[in-house]
Chains A and B, each alone.
Chain A
Amino acid sequence: MPWPTTRRVIGTKVQRLDGPDKATGRARYSFDINLPGMLHARILRCPHAHARIKNIDSGAAEKTNGFRALHIIANAGVQLFFAGAEIVAVAADTEEHADDCLHAIRIDYEVLPHFVKEADALRAPDGPSTVPGGTPNVRPGGDFSTAKFDDVAYEGTAPRVEGTYGVAIISHQCLESHGLVAQWDNDLANLTVYASTQAVPLTAQALAQNFKLPVTRVKCITNYMGGGFGSKFGPDIQGIVAAELARKARAPVKLMLDRAEEVAVGGQRPSAAGTVRIAGTKEGDIRAYEVDCYGSPGVGGGATVNLGFLPYVYSVPNIKRRHRFVRLNLQTGRAMRAPGHPQNCLLTDQAVDDLAASLGLNPIILRTRNLPQNDQNAVQNDPTSFPALRHTIYTRQLEIIRKLCSWDDRWHPPGRGDGVIKTGLGMALHTWGGGGGPPNPTRVTVSSDGSVLVQSSTQDLGTACRTVPAIITADILGLRPQDITVQIGDSTFGPSTPSGGSTTCPGISPAILKAAEAARDALFAAIAPGLNAQAADLSIDTGHVINRANNNARIPWRNACGRLGMNTAIGNGDWPTNAQFQQNPDLRREWRGRLTNNGVGGVQVAEVKVDTETGVVRCTRFWAVQDCGLIINKLACESQVAGGVIMGVNYALFEECIYDRVTGRMLNPDMEFYKLGGIRDMPDIMVHMMDMPERGVIGIGEPPTISTAAAVGNAVFNAIGVRVPQAPFTPERVLAALANGRKRN
């Protein structure tokens, strides 16, 4: 059965159930868990960007006040590849004593050469290697060319435009840092952790594996979670270490990273930079896109640097791509809110505006002409999928945003305008997947007092996912969301998919629907005989069960449930397995074409004001048009889009990890010089959600942050008439671009 066609609660604006708890501080995050007798653990980290441990002397630590347990993570002889790499962990009675213990440990290092800046590594292609295995720092990331690019790409085009675009390495900066509280039972047979994680069951599994325990003996709880953005998919080293120390000390241990650790090792997004050549006909058909690009995954292999879908979104017939990974002595890059997409968007959409300027075209016209066509094969076989609809969706979105932001009145040719403060308007497009999948078993229990409980092991990262089960169940049972009790974030409720790739809402929603329907049907089956009816005679209206067999008698919900007596009505729901999907195409069409879907598009417009005397940029207004299929909670959807825009404005204007070439250390692992805008630095954000219920539920977590920075970059270009190549667009970079512009003229 698909989604109800008449939706009482689904798609309305529902305040999140835990809003008051979060706003008042009643909500207890993993960081807030304090258990009786709990110890505090801290980790001694390598201060050098590349070093070998010669000797560890921890004797004095064990004699320090408050010391309880010590765990060596990396032994003498081990080579460490970034500042912040873990060496020794200590548990003590207070956090301060744990710090004192760390300071009593003496470690001798052999300091080795390092690279922490992309330009330095690129200048030394023949080494020395400063990364594991002695492999080259700079590695090919996959080159690509359409046929005969050099012969045909620029045939009949207007002069090509060349530009350089880049974006710095940035930090996830989760407000709640990484870590967990670990508690063993007395005979060390059962482990419970309170973790800040995007993957509750996965974290329990990883710990079970590490400690060679049956997975049934490890429980992971995540009641509330203060942000992950792609950086929290397991216990990490600090989680395993906390459990080790708790086992050794036979006491609960809390190990949450401090702010400097959170920034230095809690995740970072790969940088990207590229030189782009783009060309089109004078009418505005883009014919060629050529790019030489690289990004740094830190010390990791490069999977997180995905520039492989350049050019982004637009349909371009001739493409040539040279792509490199620049490995540096920094923590391994982690997935971050739409991995790869913001970088691809910056390297495409800014070049598109430079082309529009060169052709003398309005960028909205250029974009309209170069949208990807609807895929005719998909139109036939998968008509609600994004490929079948992408041209239709983008075209509608461009029309909507054009009116919403008064583009035709506000937009002006680049650099036009008098005065010191210049205003500009810029646009960018994005796309994302956001399809859910199995397993997400969900249980709905109706009790005889009318109360309703929904249970799933899924986690709420701060997105309002906790409210989703209440909305869907309330809709099916004719109740209000606040009538539903939701229990999530507990690995003993069974498996669930990790919250990555914007898959949580589409992952859990259809399973909740099935469970709620099953619970309703179980209730009907249980009470129908007592009502002299068949189960099929019963139906739901707001707050009531209707009995068709008795003149459509309206039985108040609680009275109806009261007929359960000692029993409960339980409904279980979950996705079909992947094997079932393969056997049954209809099943796939229902679950992945009507109940849920994969693939969205979005268009965003930024307005900025640039102080041309100081180079200071303020983003003043912002418009976002987003599709996400069937909307479950319109308020939360709009909030997600606003949050994505805020994140994007931040990395467009402020955020940048800064490393010292000599020491190899990060200089701003903080919230002082790692700049994050406050509310006064944020634009007025107008969100327009396109409701396409026929497509089913699609995730919305990642898409709305993808095109924000490119839209801001284009707005700055529109304001001052020169391109600021590197994000964040800081005052010194804007002033330098303005000075270069004056030189050229």
Chain B
Amino acid sequence: MKNFTYFRPTTAEQAVALLENRWGNTELLAGGTDLHDLQKEYVAQPSRVVSVTGIGALAGIRVDEKQATIGAGTKLAAIAEHADLRRHFPSLCEAASDIGGPQIRNMGTLGGNLCQRNRCWYFRDEHTPCLLKGGQRCYALDGENKYHAIFTQGRQCVIVNPSTLAPALIALGAGVNILGPKGRRSTDLAKFFFSPANANDREHTLAANEMVLEVTIPVRNWANASYEVRQKLSYDWPLVQAAVAFQGGRNGAKATGVRIVLGHVAPTPHIAEAAMKALEGRDITDANATAAGRAAAEGAKPLSQNAYKIRLVEVAVKRALLMAAGMKRYWEM
């Protein structure tokens, strides 16, 4: 691990002041479950590390009638266990409780989950000079890509965004508050993510001298759910994730405002517009959920080894919709 200078400011303003306007030399540290791994592998080699663990105001969950606010420093375990969050946003809490193992959830934070680097095995191998490390080619394109993106159009790098909170939050209409050198700004979480193509890009649109302060979620009594297709129950990344949210959809009411967001299928969380349209104003039935699943997979351009994910998208969307509508989970073993 390259030696670094360690900073531990006590306010977000101090933290932002310590950041630089280009990536690489200074990194923000929260739970360390990602950054320290990258440092040990010499993939990230910052000479300055700014810890946010001394910023008390960064952690915490507030839920009122209008919205929930979750601080960027909030631990994943706290999100998974929060009773009010669980009541309003089961999709978020279930996604949080399935991340990694207890050690990861007790260290990892909301901000870290949204800003973490991708898990591509070529990117994480010190000795493979992929695009995101300044190299000339994406090794996954025609290499070992069964865990990579299937929505690949126009993308030079075919990673999948690893966050499972992001699809759930985007489906719930979450926003994100960001602090930079010029003060605070807000954006839809849907616009937060980015498809990187070179060493100067990250998986999100933060500037190098900005940091996430908190995430806000409107409270509006919408049905919501997240379903992950997982090879293992313990400690595994989902192969495909679908997060859904809609108004109505239960007890014969039509579903409106339908939001369907896919995880682990594209370099960013993938908003399934066609599926949302297909289901808008309809009942949540097995047939309609199946049709929405099919629509969600439309336009996929899989790589040499991951066409199976198309089928998984169809199934994950169908199951997430049925879960949100409170219907029978026919797939439970």
Query: Any chain B CB within 8 A of the CB of A25?
Result: no
Partner of A731, one of B125, B231, B305: B231
The answer to whether A675 and B330 touch (CB under 8 A), given A665-B125, A667-B144, is no
* Most A CB within 10 A of own CB, among B121, B306, B315: B121
Is A675's CB under 8 angstroms from B42's CB? no
Q: Which residues of A contact B237 (CB under 8 A)?
A: 672
Contact mask B218-243 → A, CB, 8 Å, 1/0?
A: 00000000000111111111010000
Beta-carbon contacts of A617-654 to B below 8 Å, as 1s and 0s? 01010000000000000000000000000000000011
Q: What A residues does B128 contact at CB under 8 A?
A: 660, 663, 665
> Which residues B116-171 have CB closer than 8 A to chain A?
119, 121-122, 125, 127-128, 139, 143-144, 146-147
Question: In the complex the two chains form, is B125's CB within 8 Å of A420's CB?
Answer: no
- At the interface with chain B, which of A95-103, A294-302, A693-701? A95-103
- Distance from B79 Cβ to chain A, minimum over Cβ atoms (Å): 21
Contact B330 A420, beta carbon cutoff 8 Å:
yes
Q: Are B127 and A609 in contact (CB under 8 A)?
A: no
Q: Which residues of B have CB within 8 Å of A680?
A: 232-234
Q: A487 an interface residue at 8 Å Cβ cutoff?
A: no
Tell whether, in the assembled complex, residue B127 and residue A47 are in contact, meaning their CB atoms are under 8 Å apart: yes
A611→B229 CA distance, assembly (Å) = 10
**A611–B2 CA distance with the chains assembled, in angstroms:** 46
Over the window 275-311 of chain B, the binary record of Cβ atoms lying under 8 Å from chain A Cβ atoms (1 yes, 0 no) is 0000000000000000000000000000001101001
CA distance A421 to B331 in the complex (A): 6
- Say whether, besides A613-B315, A613-B331, A620-B333, A736 and B235 are in contact (CB < 8 Å): no
Q: Known A96-B1, A732-B146, A735-B308; judge A677-B119 contact (CB<8 A).
A: no
Task: Let me know if A421 and B333 touch, CB within 8 A.
Answer: yes
Q: How far is the CA of A33 from the CA of B332 in the complex (A)?
A: 47
Task: Find the B residue at minimum CB distance from A260.
Answer: B41
A8, B260: Cα distance in complex, Å: 66
With both beta carbons as reference points, the residue of chain A lying nearest to B235 in the complex is identified as: A678
Bitwise, A722-739 to B at CB < 8 A (1) or not (0) is 000000001110011000
CB distance from B147 to the nearest CB of A (A): 7
Shortest Cβ gap from B259 to chain A (Å): 23
Whether A100 contacts B2 in the complex (CB less than 8 A), given A616-B230, A667-B144, comes out as yes
Cα distance, A47 to B331, chains bound together (Å): 44
Indicate which residue in B139, B147, B229 contacts A614 across the interface (CB closer than 8 Å).
B229
Q: Confirm or deny: A658 has a beta carbon within 8 angstroms of a beta carbon on chain B.
A: yes
B312 at the interface (CB under 8 A from A): yes
How many angstroms from the CA of A193 to the CA of B146 in the assembled complex? 43
State whether B127 touches A614 (Cβ < 8 A).
no
B186 to chain A, nearest CB (A): 34
Contact between B1 and A677, CB atoms less than 8 A apart: no
B37 to chain A, nearest CB (A): 9
Tell whether, in the assembled complex, residue B333 and residue A672 are in contact, meaning their CB atoms are under 8 Å apart.
Answer: no
Q: How far is the CB of B143 from chain A (nearest CB, A)?
A: 5
- Asked if residues B331 and A679 are in contact (CB atoms below 8 Å), the reply is no
Q: Does chain B have a CB within 8 A of A579?
A: no
Query: Is A585 close to B, CB under 8 A?
Result: no
Q: Tell me the bound Cα distance from A731 to B309 in angstroms.
A: 10
0 or 1 for each of B317-333: is its CB under 8 Å from A? (1 = yes): 00000000000001111
Interface residues of A in 87-110 (CB under 8 A from B): 96, 99-100, 103
Contact B234 A667 (CB under 8 A): no
Residue of B nearest to A663 (CB): B128
Is A681 interfacial (CB 8 A cutoff)? yes
- Closest Cβ–Cβ distance, residue B181 to chain A (whole Å): 33
Measured in the bound complex, the distance between the Cα atoms of B233 and A580 in whole Å is: 56
User: How many whole Å from A212's CB to the nearest CB in chain B?
Assistant: 37
Contact A679 B139 (CB under 8 A): no
In the complex with contacts A660-B139, A667-B121, A667-B125, A611-B234 CB distance below 8 A: no
Q: How far is the CB of A396 from chain B (nearest CB, A)?
A: 33
B312 to A731, Cβ gap below 8 A?
Answer: yes
Residues of A within 8 A of B122 (CB): 660, 667
> For the complex, what is the distance from the CA of A80 to the CA of B122, rounded to whole Å?
22
8 A Cβ contacts from A654-696 to B:
654, 658-663, 665, 667-668, 672-673, 675, 677-681
Q: Which of A613, A653, A681, A731 contacts B234 (CB 8 A)?
A: A681
Partner of B119, one of A662, A663, A672, A731: A672
In the docked arrangement, what's the CA distance between A150 and B237, Å?
50
CB neighbours of A543 from chain B (8 A): none
- Interface size of B as a range: 35 or more
Report if A654-B231 is in contact (Cβ < 8 Å); known contacts: A103-B42, A611-B331, A660-B144: yes
**Would you call B144 and A731 a contact (CB within 8 A)?**
no
The verdict on A678 contacting B233 (CB below 8 Å), with A96-B1, A614-B315, A660-B139 known, is: yes
Tell me the dominant secondary structure on chain A's binding face.
loop
With the chains together, A681 CA to B234 CA distance in Å? 7
A653, A658, A667, A731: the one within 8 Å of B308 (CB): A731
Give the distance in Å from the alpha carbon of A618 to the alpha carbon of B229 in the complex.
13
In the assembled complex, A615 has its CB within 8 A of some CB on chain B: yes
Query: Is residue A530 contacting chain B, with contact meaning CB distance below 8 A?
Result: no
Partner of A730, one of B144, B231, B315, B332: B231
CB distance from B260 to the nearest CB of A (A): 18
**Contact A616:B229 (CB < 8 A) given known A421-B331, A609-B333, A735-B311:** yes
Question: Considering the chains assembled together, what is the distance between the CA atoms of A662 and B138 in angstroms?
Answer: 12
Residues of A within 8 A of B330 (CB): 419-421
Q: From known contacts A613-B315, A663-B139, infer whether A679 and B121 are also in contact, taking CB-CB under 8 Å.
A: no
CA–CA, A548 and B125, complex, Å:
75
Q: B158 CB to closest chain A CB, in angstroms? A: 14
Measured CA separation A614–B121 after assembly (Å): 24
In the assembled complex, the Cα of A65 lies from the Cα of B1 at a distance in Å of 13
Given A663-B127, A665-B128, also A681-B1 (CB < 8 A): no
Q: Which residues of B contact A420 (CB under 8 A)?
A: 330-331
> Given A673-B121, A731-B308, do A681 and B233 touch, yes or no (CB 8 Å)?
yes
Which one, A616, A662, A668, contacts B139 given CB within 8 A?
A662
A672: chain B residues at CB < 8 Å are 119, 237
Task: Assess whether A662 is in contact with B143, with CB atoms less than 8 Å apart.
Answer: yes
Whether the Cβ atoms of B143 and A677 lie closer than 8 Å is no
Q: How far is the CB of B255 from chain A (nearest CB, A)?
A: 22
Complex Cα distance A100/B101, Å? Answer: 31
**Who on chain A is nearest to B333 by CB?**
A609
Residues of chain B within 8 A (CB-CB) of A732 are 146, 305-306, 308
Q: Give, as a whole number of angstroms, the nearest-CB distance from A118 to chain B.
A: 15
Q: Which residue of B lies closest to A615 (CB)?
A: B308
Q: How far is the CB of A682 from chain B (nearest CB, A)?
A: 9
Question: 8 Å CB contacts to B: which residues of A403-439?
Answer: 419-421
Contact B147 A673 (CB under 8 A): yes
Roughly how many angstroms separate A554 CA and B119 CA in the complex, as a whole number?
70
Chain A residue contacts of B143, Cβ below 8 A: 660-662
5 contacts between A and B (CB under 8 A): A614-B229, A620-B333, A667-B144, A675-B236, A730-B231
Known: A96-B1, A421-B332. 18 other contacts (CB 8 A): A99-B1, A100-B3, A103-B42, A613-B311, A613-B331, A614-B229, A614-B331, A659-B144, A665-B125, A667-B122, A667-B125, A672-B119, A675-B236, A680-B234, A731-B229, A731-B231, A732-B305, A736-B308
Interface set of B (CB-CB < 8 Å, partner A)? 1-3, 42, 101, 119, 121-122, 125, 127-128, 139, 143-144, 146-147, 229-237, 239, 305-306, 308, 311-312, 315, 330-333
Interface set of A (CB-CB < 8 Å, partner B): 47, 65, 96, 99-100, 103, 419-421, 609, 611, 613-616, 618, 620, 653-654, 658-663, 665, 667-668, 672-673, 675, 677-681, 730-732, 735-736
Across the A-B interface, the 10 shortest Cβ-Cβ residue pairs: A678-B234, A732-B308, A667-B121, A680-B233, A47-B127, A609-B333, A613-B315, A680-B234, A614-B229, A735-B308
